[in-house]
Structure 1
Amino acid sequence: MSPLTVQFSASSVPAGLPEHGISCTDPQTPKEMKCLLSQLHAAGRQDLPYARLLEGHVDAIQIIRRYSGMPGLADTLAKASWCGVWNADLPGAPLRIESGVVRGGKSFASGAGSLTHALVTTAANDPARVQLWLVDLQKTPPHIDRDWWQVVGMQASQTHRVSWSAVPAHALTRIGAPGDYAREPWFSGGALRYVAIHAGGIAALFDTVRTHLVVRERERDPHQLVRLARLFTAAETAAALCDRASDIWFSAAGEAQLAYVSHVRLAVCDLAMSAIALTQEAIGVEGLFHDHPASRILTDLMVYLRQPAPDRHREKLGKAAALGCIAPSL
């Protein structure tokens, strides 16, 4: 296991951020977008759970910078904190503020127990009313249910369920206005960040298969060479899609812009699923042993790919194509 995922802690993980030199501002040019996606791709290629938390930190700081009206706060948190965004409500107990008291909680809270700060939402399922709040998790720690996250991959992301009770509302800092969190194009466009990480995961599978074949002295097997070639094509195609999206993000607008994000998200997911199958074929059952490097990458990527509402994105893409909002080009 990578040292990055052995022990995440509030004190040690932020120190790793400067190593990536990653920007936590909204990209203003295709070059800046490509730089951000390239850095996330590199993080995903190295360690998917770490990259997941890194992406959440970037997302949180971008949101605070964009909506809070407090640039100094964003700068401070970017340099000395480890932040995340927790939006999914705890089933049966959504986060809410009642009579000046915070109640309920969040599910799929990545980095719970390690982050220093989190952006949480109330009215999470109402795009017009959803409200962002910044929580200092060291001053206002939640109860953490660590038994829930029993999945085959991404264990090191520390994705748990969290809840608060009897916490005064003034312990939270309001960020932005109602509806800001769901504002487009940033809400849907944020998918490009984790898609770049998925692409990095595909590259990691290529790296692992190549190393495995060399170590096992099977790098001249013609069938394995075909698999390695296909893995290379999948990894390069996924990276090229992210690179192309960096240009389209600034040259398109409205439905075309968001439809292209859906296209990249779906296409990279398809490439990743193909890469997973190729990796399993190339390495065989050996790659399913816990101590084989491929095992962790395979299971982490399988879990990370399960992003919400893929059918809705296919519908969005198909509708934009039917209306002539987007068309293939070179």
Structure 2
Amino acid sequence: MTPLAAIRAIDPALPPREWMAAAFAIARSVGLDDATCASPGEARALMRRMAAAGRADVAFGRILDGHVNAVQLVRRYAPAFAIDALLANGAILGVWNSDLPGDGLRHEGGAFAGAKNFASGAGFVTHPIVTTDANDPAGTRMWLLDMAAADPEIDRDWWHPIGMVRSETHIVHLGGVPLATAHAIGGPGDYQRQPDFSAGALRFVAVQAGAVHALFDHVRDHLNAGNRAAHPQQAHRLARLFVLADAGYALIDGVAAHWTGDDDVLLARVAAARGALEDIATEAMALAQSAVGVQGMLRTHPLARTLTDLTVYLRQPNPDGARSQAGAAAAAGRIEPGA
């Protein structure tokens, strides 16, 4: 059984903590969690791994994105920290940067105060990086938190989305948790240091690209199972889905080729890729729904989870700003098609 098939075969009735543990075990067995990304070739390979995760399950791709991000941050800004030993013990990392409005995370004396929201994996991530003073880019600090030692209050009543339920994205209250339960990562301002901060968005673009491939998978399987793939209109839909899924891979490969080049070009291309993949995914979801019909809206159909998860996961921060950034770079001649 391939890793893709093995992850998809995990019992969907398992609690998210157990489901993710099983998915990570499979991912680790084939190196899907490898965070190496120091050259264009390595960047392409990483983005292909992220896409493979998104193709298997969008929520798993989201959690793997956070894990890889955190591993990269620790290795970049705290090279003396024994991250490999932590990973060998099965740790799942994440990055929680979004503050609870009105009660952002900070440190007062020897303890944390405040809370994080949109904390993906709060039900099972063992070692998240949390940021303090997140609204002050020059002063933001990173802390690798040991969840078992910290034992924070987790508000699970807030997360009731139409998709990405398995990601366990909750509010985490850290008030009173001792700083001693966390390890400082880097210094003030390191978290949002460019180009790594913005270029890292290509990871979620890659997960989205894999999700588009999953739409193609589910539609093809459905049409073949019902002996409907030869119908002219269905064949046209499937052909278009193939083109869209293939374009997603071309998109992330093209950006990865610029990974160690000019920072302005890389960041503009990442911004352009964000908008382009959103457009690709939006068209692909509409085609998939037209091809499968109401059966794809049933929770028991494999298409349903991918549709709802991708609908939620496409909603990333500041999409208009990303398109504006790409447009400005194009107008100034900093990026050129085919270059």
* TM-score range relative to shorter protein: over 0.9
What SS does the aligned partner of 2:79 have? coil
Report whether the alignment pairs 1:45 with 2:55. yes
Farther-moved stretch of structure 1 (184-193 vs 167-176): 167-176
CA deviations over 1:38-70 (Å, ceiling 9, x no partner)? 111111111111111111111101000000132
Counterpart in 2 of 1:264? Answer: 273
Counterpart in 2 of 1:74? Answer: 83
Of 31, 56, 65, which residue of structure 2 is paired with 1:55?
65
RMSD of the alignment, in Å?
1.7
What SS does the aligned partner of 1:115 have? coil
Farther-moved stretch of structure 1 (129-138 vs 164-173): 164-173
List runs of 5+ in structure 1 lacking aligned partners.
Answer: none
Counterpart in 1 of 2:205? Answer: 195
Report whether the alignment pairs 1:220 with 2:227. no
What SS does the aligned partner of 1:194 have? helix
Q: Distance in 2 between matches of 1:103 and 1:3?
A: 38
Q: Distance in 2 between matches of 1:23 and 1:185?
A: 22
Which residue type is aligned with residue 251 of structure 2?
L
Of 162, 175, 178, which residue of structure 2 is paired with 1:168?
178
Report deviation, 1:24.
4.2
What SS does the aligned partner of 1:120 have? strand
Report whether the alignment pairs 1:310 with 2:327. no
CA deviations over 1:295-326 (Å, ceiling 9, x no partner)? 10000001011001011111111111111111
Distance 1:11 1:242, change over 3 A: closer
Which residue type is aligned with residue 10 of structure 2?
P
Counterpart in 2 of 1:234? Answer: 244
Which residue type is aligned with residue 261 of structure 1?
V
Equivalent residues of 1:262, 1:316 under 8 A apart: yes
What SS does the aligned partner of 2:176 have? strand
Q: Distance in 2 between matches of 1:253 and 1:280?
A: 40
Which residue type is aligned with residue 180 of structure 2?
H
Distance 1:124 1:114, change over 3 A: same
List runs of 5+ in structure 2 lacking aligned partners.
Answer: 1-7
Q: Distance in 2 between matches of 1:15 and 1:77?
A: 15
Q: Distance in 1 between matches of 2:149 and 2:251?
A: 42
Equivalent residues of 2:99, 2:105 under 8 A apart: yes
Which residue type is aligned with residue 28 of structure 1?
A
Count of residue pairs brought into register by the alignment: 328
What SS does the aligned partner of 2:281 have? helix
Q: Distance in 1 between matches of 2:72 and 2:132?
A: 19
What SS does the aligned partner of 1:138 have? helix
Equivalent residues of 1:143, 1:163 under 8 A apart: yes
Report whether the alignment pairs 1:182 with 2:192. yes
Report deviation, 1:34.
1.5
Matches within 5 A, 1:275-294: 275-294=284-303
Q: Distance in 1 between matches of 2:134 and 2:83?
A: 22
Farther-moved stretch of structure 1 (91-100 vs 296-305): 91-100
Q: Distance in 1 between matches of 2:327 and 2:21?
A: 46
Report deviation, 1:205.
0.2
Equivalent residues of 1:40, 1:55 under 8 A apart: yes
Equivalent residues of 2:265, 2:334 under 8 A apart: yes
How high is the TM-score relative to the length of structure 2? 0.92
